[in-house]
């Protein structure tokens, strides 16, 4: 994802009060956004959905047509999209996990409609678009990472000398101090790009994933406040209300 694309995505997200940092990550260069972030955008944009149309209904497959409408200064904008879920093809289920093909098809269709109406279609994808996107979520990656080895270190490790904290995953370098350290680094950032790069860094995403949900939200809100202080265009709610009424 190029710096130009990053800025384009960030500018659009800013109109809905959402920062790039903490909402978007990369999978082999492809920008991916959380489903929950798209739900928040839909609320901010006052997107309304028609009742879904079932195109195909099988035991292991669902295809759903979803249409959405977003108010604007010149009337409603309308977009539609198809959501598909077929077990074993584009929807993998493992172990005892239940398969909800209709729910997945609906989520995919709605997310695509939100991306279209918000002007983000073609710039990034929803996490539910592909299994590899969801599997690469920073919080899931951190949760599935092997636990730190307990007990005495092997001979080769003892001979290697003390480890540098910078080389250790965030969860291993300070425990409860991780949030304070990250907050301090956010305060030290001197530009919007610096804050964004910090929050998108894999080690930062891993540190956030290891935090309690409330603490994680506090750090993200701190980053958002720092972005605003540096000139990030926070959503103008008064202007949005005026446009919605017009």
Q: What pLDDT digit, counting tens, does each position of 68-124 carry?
A: 999 998 889 999 999 999 999 999 887 777 889 999 999 999 999 999 999 999 999
Neighbours of 56 (CB within 10 A): 13
Phi/psi for 62 (5° steps) reads: -140, 135
Q: What is the structure's pLDDT at 141?
A: 57
Q: Cα separation of 208 and 212, whole Å?
A: 8
Q: Cα separation of 89 and 200, whole Å?
A: 30
Percent of the chain with pLDDT over 70: 75
Given a cut of 90, is residue 150 above it in pLDDT?
no
CB 128 within 8 A of CB 107: yes
End-to-end CA distance of the chain: 36
Mean pLDDT rounded to a whole number for the chain: 79
Q: What pLDDT digit, counting tens, does each position of 136-149 carry?
A: 666 555 555 554 44
User: Which tokens sit at 60?
Assistant: 């292991």
Q: Which residues contact 110 (CB under 8 A, 6 or more apart)?
A: 38, 42, 49, 66, 68, 83
Give the CA-trace dihedral at 88, 92, 93, 99, to 10 degrees.
-80
């Amino acid at each position: 994802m190029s710096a130009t694309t990053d800025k384009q995505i960030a500018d659009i997200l800013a109109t809905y009060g959402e920062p790039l940092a903490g909402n978007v990550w990369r999978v082999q260069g492809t920008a991916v956004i959380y489903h929950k972030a798209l739900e928040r955008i839909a609320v901010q944009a006052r997107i309304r959905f028609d009742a879904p149309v079932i195109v195909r209904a099988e035991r292991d497959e669902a295809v759903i047509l979803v249409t959405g409408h977003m108010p604007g200064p010149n009337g409603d904008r309308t977009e539609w999209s198809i959501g598909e879920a077929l077990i074993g093809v584009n929807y993998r289920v493992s172990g005892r996990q239940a398969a909800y093909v209709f729910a997945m098809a609906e989520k995919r269709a709605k997310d695509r409609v939100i991306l279209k109406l918000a002007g983000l279609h073609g710039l990034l994808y929803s996490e539910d678009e592909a299994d590899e996107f969801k599997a690469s979520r920073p919080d899931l990656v951190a949760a599935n990472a092997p636990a730190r080895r307990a007990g005495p270190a092997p001979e080769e490790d003892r001979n290697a000398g003390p480890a540098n904290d910078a080389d250790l995953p965030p969860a291993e370098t300070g425990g409860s101090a991780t949030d304070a350290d990250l907050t301090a680094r956010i305060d030290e950032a001197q530009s919007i790009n610096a804050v964004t790069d910090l929050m998108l860094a894999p080690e930062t995403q891993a540190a956030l994933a290891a935090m309690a949900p409330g603490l994680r939200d506090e750090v993200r809100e701190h980053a958002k406040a720092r972005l605003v202080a540096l000139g990030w265009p926070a959503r103008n709610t008064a202007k949005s209300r005026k446009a919605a009424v017009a």
